[in-house]
Amino acid sequence: MIDTSKVVVYPLKDCEYVDLDQGKRVKFTMQKTDKAFPSFIQADSVSSRFATSVAENEILRTFFFLRSTIIPSVDQKYPIGEHFPIILDPSYDVSKKCE
């Protein structure tokens, strides 16, 4: 089970200081593109539930790293579609079919 409190995706604070070993200290601030991430503020949001579900499952985790094509959609509820082409037989050789 993932402890979402350990992960900072969209910080509510402007910055966060973290003390490191040997007396060092770092500060974390938002990147400009962080504005795309507010749907991760709540741990029980749809976005958080999706990401944690994928992270917990090794097959889904791998799947979402496959090569894909992103195609916008006219569907207002689901505006983006990501297409993952797969074939269930890795030994299949399509080039032989054209010979």
Partner 1 sequence: MSDFEKAKKEKEDERKKLTEEFHNELDAAYFKLLSLVYGDPEVAKALNTGRKPAISKALDNAFKKHEKEMVELSAKFIEFTGYAYQINSYSILSYFIGNIELAQTNSKILSRILNLPSESIRLFSAFNFLASKKVLKVETQSYCIDCYFKYGEEPYFSYSSNFKEMNLPARCPQCKEPGIFHDVIIRYPIGLHKIVMPQTNWLREIIIGYTLSTLPKVKKVFVHKKVHNAPRNASEGKGVESDVSLITEDNKLILIELQLNQI
Q: Does 7 engage in binding with partner 1 (CB under 8 A)? A: yes
- Which of these, 65, 44, 60, lies nearest to 2 by C-alpha position? 44
Over the window 18 to 57, marking each residue x when it contacts partner 1 by CB under 8 A and - when it does not, the resulting string is: xxxx--xxxxxxxx-xx-xxxxx----xxx-xxxxxxxxx
Round to whole Å and give the CA distance between 49 and 58.
16
Size of the site for partner 1 (CB under 8 A): 77
Asked if 70 and 82 count as a contact pair (C-beta separation under 8 A), the reply is: yes
> Per CB under 8 A, which of residues 67..96 are in contact with partner 1?
67-70, 73, 75-90, 92, 94-95
Report which DSSP code applies to 14: S
| Spatial separation of the C-alpha atoms in residues 58 and 53, rounded to whole Å | 10
**Residue 72 is which amino acid?**
P
Q: How far is the CB of 43 from partner 1 (least distance, A)?
A: 11
Task: Name which position in 11, 12, 14, 74 contacts partner 1 (CB under 8 A).
Answer: 11
Question: Is 62 near partner 1 (CB under 8 A)?
Answer: yes
